[in-house]
């Protein structure tokens, strides 16, 4: 394995990291900053890149975590699943115990690393439906957030890249809806999945319920499409590898300070209140350091840490703040209050095959063989893929009884309530057996939760309450999602391949049994939003205006997933990249 380690070191380590500093002591003390960005995550690095295109703007990014440089579990796409448990690159959050989850208090993974969640996520690239963005435009009264409005930002973000195996991808995506000159790579899988033919056969056999969709990212998402991922030549493409890539990081006006956890913003002006001084520390017990921006502070700490930071800075619900002994500087009651997160289940089935990825997870010898192949071929083979093959977007029938009492929460009639993904294995396999799995995800959750302070120490975690499964609609929708997955897998295409369910449910399970299964097995996925929602400029509800300025303040914006008032009907990294691209333009226009 020493040979492998040496080979990996050559392949992974990037030569120059000039503007990335590991400690405050390394940061040249004579620098001044127009913009300070809190959080070098998915959104923060986009804003840093775009603002420093103008050489007259100087930018400092403060990131709590370290760099992913040389971290194999970051770079090898398939190994993303190893970054989800407690490890040094994770915030190590434990959520509040959830009634909807039978009292379970779950570990909730979140990247504490340069690139944020884009450095540890599943890399699935999904845009949702055009109606999702038209609804953002509607509820904010800003057409710039509409599907048409964001088209230029899709092109600026996306760099379509051929798959590593160079297979013919005609018929697997629609080039007309993609960007070929942007920054972040997107590609189809570079290694075939053993179940892909069964999936395509199912779209023919049950064409009405599961029609083939040439490209689920066209704005019309319903049906079954090939998985697209933020992967470049078999390696993860994150906001770190792309927006802070070698061609950008050498800019003399771009500075990134790692291991710098921001604990508070301190007020520098009133009427309107400004918060241009940022307080941070290198560890819980280290002295608090400060830096002051001359133009704006941009908070990009993500949907959990952004509301925590605003609250610790005296921006939030006055009675909640008073209860913790904090002075209210800006009375903004909705900070942290309207959390929305997608909820998912994983269904696994024993299969009549050993050609699945289960052994890569269970068998270290097998994993090392594939890692050697990935290294020697420059990213080819199974490890250069994510773990899914296709995405399936479906709607609950409009005549369903649930709609007698619950309004349809989807953004429109062509927006999916349920998203499923097919995988050639089980990401947490038991010691024996080979599997295929199908996820069932509620894309239109109606339950709302919150992020509240537990203590006023910026190094303590907030109280993360998903409010999970607190509405009839959410439970009903997941039940329908399970039934739909069972219909998908009940076709002739899977005859002789799928043998038995690993889970405790079957096609003849009753509604009550499915509900019990849902409460016992659901978990939130990483797509958490709305804790600092956008609302119309004059509105008193919400946290930021449509130009992402924090209401009632000056020179302070939030740019990250927390500003989305609803989850799009898709995983959220795409939406976050688009928010950040447009935000950078709005900020440039203001200065
Ligand atoms: C396990 C997992 C899998 C996922 N899979 C997918 C997927 O396959 N496809 C998809 O589209 N989406 C996926 N997502 C969701 C997606 O990655 C996120 O929605 C998105 O990356 C969030 O971007 P952000 O900029 O809002 O926050 P982040 O990317 O989390 O960035 C926040 C950054 O701020 C830093 N930070 C936080 N607080 C402070 C502080 N006080 N001081 C300094 N720095 C701070 C953090 O360390 C982090 O780097 C997944 C998420 C998770 C957790
Ligand atoms: C800061 O000081 C260094 C030398 O210590 C110098 O090279 C650099 O040009 C200075 N930068 C500014 C912005 O003054
Ligand atoms: C990557 O993940 C695997 C599986 O959990 C683990 O054995 C290995 O130590 C990890 N590598 C690093 C460098 O953390
Ligand atoms: C992570 O959190 C768990 C549960 O709160 C705790 O037991 C563990 O010590 C924490 N790990 C680290 C590295 O902080
Ligand atoms: C790819 O496949 C399409 C349709 O199947 C075919 O028309 C095209 O010629 C193929 N391209 C190449 C380069 O083989
Ligand atoms: C502030 O929060 C409290 C609960 O902690 C709630 O009762 C109150 O209504 C909130 N205030 C506003 C204006 O929303
Ligand atoms: C939460 O979001 C919903 C949907 O946009 C909205 O109706 C409600 O007013 C919001 N609540 C708060 C407290 O912002
Ligand atoms: C683990 O993988 C190695 C290499 O492919 C193989 O020889 C071995 O039989 C596997 N072990 C198990 C328990 O499957
Ligand atoms: C709803 O409509 C479908 C056809 O679209 C039909 O098969 C089903 O029986 C209807 N269900 C109810 C409850 O009316
Ligand atoms: C909240 O703070 C209390 C007291 O410091 C602590 O015991 C508790 O574990 C904290 N809760 C969470 C979820 O961190
Ligand atoms: C497994 O697949 C083989 C063909 O590959 C078939 O002959 C056999 O019947 C299948 N086993 C089951 C239990 O369906
Ligand atoms: C599965 O269901 C059976 C019968 O309903 C029950 O005895 C068993 O405990 C269940 N297993 C799990 C893991 O829930
Ligand atoms: C860069 O920013 C400066 C200061 O706001 C502005 O005057 C100039 O026009 C900008 N340059 C470009 C190329 O946008």
pLDDT tens readout for residues 546-583: 999 999 999 999 999 999 999 999 999 999 999 999 99
Distance of CA 272 to the CA centre of its chain: 33
| Residues pairing with 232 in the sheet | 235
pLDDT at residue 32 is higher than 90 = yes
Contacts of residue 493, defined as CB under 8 A and 6 or more positions apart, other chains included, come to 197, 198, 199, 201, 202, 205
Ligand 5 pocket, 166 CB below 6 A? no
Element spanning 512, H or E: helix 511-521
Pairing of strands 231-232, 235-236: antiparallel
Contact 429, 367 (CB under 8 A): no
Ligand 3 pocket, 73 CB below 6 A? yes
Which band of pLDDT confidence, cut at 50, 70 and 90, is reported for residue 145?
very high
Shortest-distance ligand to the CA of residue 136: 7
Which atom of ligand 3 sits closest to the CA of residue 71? 13
Separation of CA 400 and ligand 9 centre (Å): 8
pLDDT tens-digit map of 171-182? 999 999 999 999
Ligand 11 pocket, 148 CB below 6 A? no
Separation of CA 438 and ligand 1 centre (Å): 24
What's the average model confidence in pLDDT over 452-470?
98
Contact 569, 415 (CB under 8 A): yes
For the chain, what percent of residues have pLDDT higher than 90?
95
pLDDT at residue 455 is higher than 60 = yes
Positive or negative, the CA dihedral 453, 454, 458, 462 is negative
Decide which of 491 and 85 is more confident.
Answer: 491
Nearest CA residue ID for atom 8, ligand 7: 338
Nearest CA residue ID for atom 2, ligand 4: 92
Phi-psi sector, 530: left (phi>0), alpha (psi -120 to 50), beta: left
Structure tokens at 130: 């055009």
Nearest CA residue ID for atom 6, ligand 5: 170
- C-alpha 189/C-alpha 228 separation (Å) is 7
Which atom of ligand 7 sits closest to the CA of residue 448? 1
Which band of pLDDT confidence, cut at 50, 70 and 90, is reported for residue 387?
confident
Which band of pLDDT confidence, cut at 50, 70 and 90, is reported for residue 15?
very low
Contacts of residue 126, defined as CB under 8 A and 6 or more positions apart, other chains included, come to 216, 217, 228, 391, 419, 570, 571, 574
Q: Which of 437, 421, 423 is nearest to 385 (CA)?
A: 423
Nearest CA residue ID for atom 2, ligand 10: 454
Q: Which of 184, 300, 343 is nearest to 561 (CA)?
A: 300
Decide which of 279 and 15 is more confident.
Answer: 279
Nearest CA residue ID for atom 14, ligand 9: 399
Contacts of residue 111, defined as CB under 8 A and 6 or more positions apart, other chains included, come to 41, 65, 83, 89, 90, 91, 117, 118, 119, 120, 121
Contacts of residue 248, defined as CB under 8 A and 6 or more positions apart, other chains included, come to 49, 52, 254
Beta strands in 275-399 (DSSP E): 277-281, 289-299, 315-316, 330-331, 340-351, 390-394
Helix/strand/coil percent split, the chain, to 5: 30, 20, 50
Q: What angle is formed at CA 35 by the lines to CA 33 and CA 38, rounded to 5 degrees?
A: 110
- C-alpha 345/C-alpha 478 separation (Å) is 8
Separation of CA 194 and ligand 5 centre (Å): 22
pLDDT tens-digit map of 123-140? 999 999 999 999 999 999
pLDDT at residue 435 is higher than 60 = yes
Contacts of residue 477, defined as CB under 8 A and 6 or more positions apart, other chains included, come to 396, 402, 417, 418, 442, 444
Ligand 13 pocket, 54 CB below 6 A? yes
Pairing of strands 340-351, 435-442: antiparallel
Shortest-distance ligand to the CA of residue 369: 8
Backbone angles phi, psi at 60, to 5 degrees: -120, 125
Ligand 6 pocket, 428 CB below 6 A? no
Decide which of 506 and 86 is more confident.
Answer: 506
Contact 460, 477 (CB under 8 A): no
What's the average model confidence in pLDDT over 467-487?
98
| Residues pairing with 269 in the sheet | 274
What's the average model confidence in pLDDT over 332-360?
97
Nearest CA residue ID for atom 12, ligand 9: 399
How big is the chain, counted in residues? 591
Describe the strand order of the beta sheet including 184-188 as a list of residue ranges.
158-160, 184-188, 228-229
| C-alpha to C-alpha distances, 573 to 102, 238, 311, 482, 562, nearest whole angstrom | 29, 10, 25, 25, 12
Beta strands in 70-172 (DSSP E): 93-94, 107-108, 158-160
pLDDT tens-digit map of 251-277? 999 999 999 999 999 999 999 999 999
Q: Does the annotation flag 314 for ligand binding?
A: no
Ligand 5 pocket, 70 CB below 6 A? no
Fold of 72-241+338-589: Glucose Oxidase; domain 3 (3.30.560)
Shortest-distance ligand to the CA of residue 84: 1
Q: Which of 579, 549, 585 is nearest to 54 (CA)?
A: 585
Which atom of ligand 11 sits closest to the CA of residue 352? 1
* Choice from 340, 448, 540 to test ligand 7 binding pocket (greatest atom count within 8 A of CB): 448
- The alpha carbons of the chain give a radius of gyration, in whole angstroms, of 23
CB hemisphere CA count around 128 (13 angstroms): 31
Structure tokens at 49: 């890149």
What's the average model confidence in pLDDT over 474-499?
98
Nearest CA residue ID for atom 5, ligand 3: 82
Q: Does the annotation flag 186 for ligand binding?
A: no
DSSP state of 328: P
pLDDT tens-digit map of 306-320? 999 999 999 999 999
Ligand 10 pocket, 463 CB below 6 A? yes
Residues with CB under 6 A from ligand 8: 359, 363, 365-366, 369
Backbone angles phi, psi at 232, to 5 degrees: -120, 115
Q: Determine the 3-state secondary structure of 528 from DSSP.
A: strand
Q: Which of 571, 200, 207 is nearest to 389 (CA)?
A: 200
**Mean pLDDT for the chain?**
96
pLDDT at residue 285 is higher than 80 = yes
Contact 46, 584 (CB under 8 A): yes
Pairing of strands 498-501, 340-351: antiparallel
Q: Tell me, what's the pLDDT at 16?
A: 45
Q: Tell me, what's the pLDDT at 2?
A: 53
Shortest-distance ligand to the CA of residue 585: 13
């Amino acid at each position: 394995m020493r040979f492998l380690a040496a080979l990996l070191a050559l392949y992974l380590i990037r030569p120059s990291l000039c503007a990335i500093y590991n400690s405050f002591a390394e940061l040249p003390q004579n620098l001044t900053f127009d913009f300070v960005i809190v959080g070098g995550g998915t959104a923060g690095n986009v804003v840093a890149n775009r603002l420093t295109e103008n050489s007259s703007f100087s930018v400092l990014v403060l990131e709590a975590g370290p760099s992913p440089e040389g971290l194999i579990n970051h770079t090898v796409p398939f190994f993303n699943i190893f970054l989800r448990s407690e490890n040094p690159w994770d915030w190590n959050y434990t959520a509040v115990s959830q009634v909807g989850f039978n009292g379970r208090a779950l570990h909730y993974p979140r990247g504490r690393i340069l690139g944020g969640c884009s450095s540890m996520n599943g890399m699935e690239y999904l845009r949702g439906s055009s109606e999702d963005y038209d609804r953002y435009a509607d509820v904010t009264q800003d057409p710039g957030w509409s599907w048409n409005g964001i088209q230029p930002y899709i092109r600026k973000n996306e760099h379509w890249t051929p798959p590593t195996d160079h297979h013919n991808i005609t018929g697997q995506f629609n080039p007309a809806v993609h960007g070929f000159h942007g920054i972040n790579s997107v590609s189809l899988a570079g290694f075939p999945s053993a179940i892909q033919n069964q999936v395509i056969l199912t779209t023919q056999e049950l064409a009405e319920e599961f029609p083939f969709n040439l490209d689920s990212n066209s704005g019309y998402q319903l049906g079954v499409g090939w998985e697209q991922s933020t992967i470049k030549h078999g390696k993860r493409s994150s906001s770190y590898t792309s927006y802070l890539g070698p061609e950008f990081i050498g800019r003399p006006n771009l500075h990134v300070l790692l291991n710098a956890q921001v604990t508070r913003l301190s007020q520098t002006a009133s009427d309107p209140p400004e918060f241009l001084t940022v307080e941070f520390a290198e560890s819980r017990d280290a002295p608090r350091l400060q830096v002051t921006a001359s133009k704006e502070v941009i908070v990009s700490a993500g949907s959990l840490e952004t509301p925590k930071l605003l609250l610790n800075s005296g921006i939030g619900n006055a009675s909640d703040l008073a209860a913790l002994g904090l002075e209210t500087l800006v009375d903004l009651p909705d900070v942290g209050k309207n959390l929305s997160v997608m909820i998912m289940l994983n269904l696994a089935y024993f299969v009549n095959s050993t050609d699945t990825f289960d052994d890569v997870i269970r068998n270290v010898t097998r994993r090392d063989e594939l890692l050697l192949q990935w290294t020697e071929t420059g990213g080819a083979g199974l490890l250069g893929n994510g773990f899914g093959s296709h995405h399936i977007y479906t709607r609950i029938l409009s005549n369903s009884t649930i709609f007698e009492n619950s309004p349809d929460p989807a953004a429109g009639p062509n927006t999916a309530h349920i998203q499923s993904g097919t995988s050639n294995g089980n990401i947490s396999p038991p010691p024996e057996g080979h599997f295929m799995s199908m996820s069932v995800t509620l894309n239109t959750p109606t339950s709302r939760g919150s992020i509240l302070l537990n203590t006023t120490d910026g190094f303590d975690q907030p109280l993360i309450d998903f409010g999970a499964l607190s509405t009839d609609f959410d439970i009903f929708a997941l039940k329908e999602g399970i039934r739909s997955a069972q219909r998908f897998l009940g076709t002739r295409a899977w005859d002789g391949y799928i043998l038995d369910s690993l889970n405790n449910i079957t096609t003849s399970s009753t509604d009550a049994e499915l509900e019990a299964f849902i409460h016992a097995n659901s978990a939130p996925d990483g797509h958490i939003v709305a804790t600092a929602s956008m609302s119309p400029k004059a509105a008193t509800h919400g946290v930021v205006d449509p130009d992402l300025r924090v209401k009632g303040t000056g020179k302070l914006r939030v740019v990250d997933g927390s500003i989305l008032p609803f989850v799009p009907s898709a995983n959220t990294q795409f939406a976050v990249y688009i928010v950040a691209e447009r935000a950078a333009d709005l900020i440039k226009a203001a200065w």
